[in-house]
Amino acid sequence: NAGVMQNPRHLVRRRGQEARLRCSPMKGHSHVYWYRQLPEEGLKFMVYLQKENIIDESGMPKERFSAEFPKEGPSILRIQQVVRGDSAAYFCASSPESSRTEAFFGQGTRLTVV
Amino acid sequence: GESVGLHLPTLSVQEGDNSIINCAYSNSASDYFIWYKQESGKGPQFIIDIRSNMDKRQGQRVTVLLNKTVKHLSLQIAATQPGDSAVYFCAENRGYGNKLVFGAGTILRVKS
């Protein structure tokens, strides 16, 4: 049973370009969470999605950031017109249901904006 | 509010000793807590969890203690091994689903 798969593992973008980060949850999991981690800090919640629905996006910046989890395919975190401050590790987690259970994390995508 | 740490605290222990990592949480309404281990370049790895109706839970070589009165959580690792070296985060589950609020983290260094 494959774990949470994120790709790419490393992504380099120039300022102003778009970044697309992909997350495939564990098999049977329908709940996806995106977190951002700056160096030497804890993970910060960004958004919580179920299939075709955004449940909680209270941690998403108001501009340039968007997320989706379509009926088919992976969840996508999209950052438009990237700036240097977007450089971070972005982690995706998935869980089988919404109740208090363990969330499994992927290995993350390390975004570097140059 | 959210925890932000510019310089993570570090705990150095000798191999074979016991380790205790502490965490304070802020929201008395949180009802589910998790400890994660994060090695360099990797995602957080689940260690152990505890619900608010418990004050202690044991796993293999690890024990989590929860003190709701002072909103404090601790992780005890018995017979610490070099492979335990990592950053350890506590996380509290708030609100709907599995939305987690992470603490700042503690670096554990195990000396052989």
Structure confidence at residue B2 as a pLDDT band (50, 70, 90)? very low
* Nearest alpha-carbon partner for B88 in B50, B26, B34: B34
Q: What is the pLDDT of residues B50-92, one digit of tens each?
A: 999 999 999 999 999 999 999 999 999 999 999 999 999 999 9
Identify which of B46, B95, B104 has the shortest CB distance to residue A42: B104
- List, in sequence order, every residue forming a beta bridge with B34; answer none if it has no partner: B49, B91
Asked, as a colleague might, if the bond just before A70 is cis with ω within 30 of 0, I would say no
pLDDT attached to residue A39: 81
Identify which of B4, B97, B103 has the shortest CB distance to residue A48: B97
| Residue to test with chain A: of B99, B101, B106, B107, most A Cβ within 10 A | B99
Structure confidence at residue B26 as a pLDDT band (50, 70, 90)? confident
pLDDT attached to residue B7: 65
- What distance, in Å, lies between the first and last C-alpha atoms of chain A? 36
Contact B44/A56, CB-based, under 8 Å? no
The one-character DSSP state at A84 is G
| Residue to test with chain B: of A105, A107, A112, most B Cβ within 10 A | A105
pLDDT over 50 (residue B5): no
Contact B100/A48, CB-based, under 8 Å? no
Mean pLDDT (chain B) is 90
pLDDT attached to residue A97: 74
Q: Are strands B72-77 and A10-13 parallel, antiparallel or unpaired?
A: unpaired
Contact B99/A45, CB-based, under 8 Å? yes
**Burial environment of residue B70 by CB neighbours within 10 A (0 to 12, 13 to 18, 19 or more):** exposed
What CA–CA distance (Å, rounded) separates A66 from A61? 9
pLDDT attached to residue A19: 98
Contacts of B69 (CB under 8 A, 6+ apart): none
pLDDT over 60 (residue B4): no
Residue A81 or residue B103, greater confidence: A81
Percent of chain B having pLDDT more than 90?
74
Taking 50 as the pLDDT cut, the residues of chain A under it are: none
